[in-house]
Every structure is written in C-alpha cells, then in structure tokens.
Amino acid sequence: MDPVEFCPAAARASSLARFESLYEQVEDLMGDPSLARQPKLAGELEALACRLLLEIEEARTQLAGIEAVSSAGAIAQLLAAIRDIRVGDDAERERAKQLEARAVGFLAAAGLFDGEVCRRLSQTRFTKRRSATACATAS
C-alpha cells in the first residue's frame, strides 16, 4: 500500500506539495509581461495566489498537528520543520518544534533511531524531552 494512502501526515504533506506547485505556477504566470494588458486576469491571478498562500499555511499548520503513522509521514514532517526553521519567523519556529517532535517521536517509537541519535537530532528543549522519552521506550 502507498504510504500516502494510510498515513495522514504523508497525505497532508502530499497536498501541501500540490498547493506549493500550483502557487509556483501562478507566480510564473503573474510574471508574464503580456499580463499587463489584461488587468482582470492579473487581478484574478493575484487573488488565486493569495488563496493558495492561505491553503499552504493551513496545510503546514495541519501537518504539525498530525501524528505520523509511517516513515514517509515522519520524514515529510522533518522536511517541513527544516523549511520552517529556515524562514526564521517566531510562529514558524514554533511550528518547526511541533513538526520535529512528532517526527522524532514516531521514528524513535518505530525503532528507526537509537536513543543517542534522537537526542542529537533535536534542537529544541521540547523535542529533546519527547525524543528522549520515545527513544528510551524504543530502546
């Protein structure tokens, strides 16, 4: 079975990737010089871009609140955490902590990391406590 089909985190990450892809396509269209001659279309593309940004943000927030039930979902959460850390915004840093904690918790409980690796992986106190607990039970 495809991991996306049974893991809510992987499914949410997949939809997030689709939203991001659509947003990039809209951005490309908005950069077309011929759009200046079509103000109505330009306005519609701008509105679509705004809606997609809202969907992307909502999908990221939902991904942080979903427990992974597959390695694919946990890895998607780790990748999303890396993205949020790079942005540097306080809210996104907080979401990165949640994403990392959920991913590390699953991977540790599944026995895919040993305890020491889990403790070194984390950069947050919250995740260190959670991953240490999960690693101790998985070891």
The CB density around residue 128, as the number of other CB atoms within 10 Å, is 17
Alpha-carbon 25 to chain mean position = 20
pLDDT at 111: 81
Apex 21 CA angle, 43 and 90, nearest 5: 85
Describe the crossing of helices 90-109 and 125-138 by its angle, rounded to 10 degrees: 10
Give the separation between CA 57 and CA 74, rounded to whole angstroms: 19
DSSP 37: G
- What are the mean pLDDT values of the chain's consecutive 10-residue runs (139 residues total)? 73 93 94 90 94 94 92 89 82 88 84 63 48 44
Burial class of residue 84 (count of CB atoms within 10 Å of its CB; 0-12, 13-18, 19+): buried
Q: Give me the residue label for tokens 């895919």.
A: 112
Query: What is the pTM for the complete model shown?
Result: 0.72
Element (H, E) at 85: helix 71-87
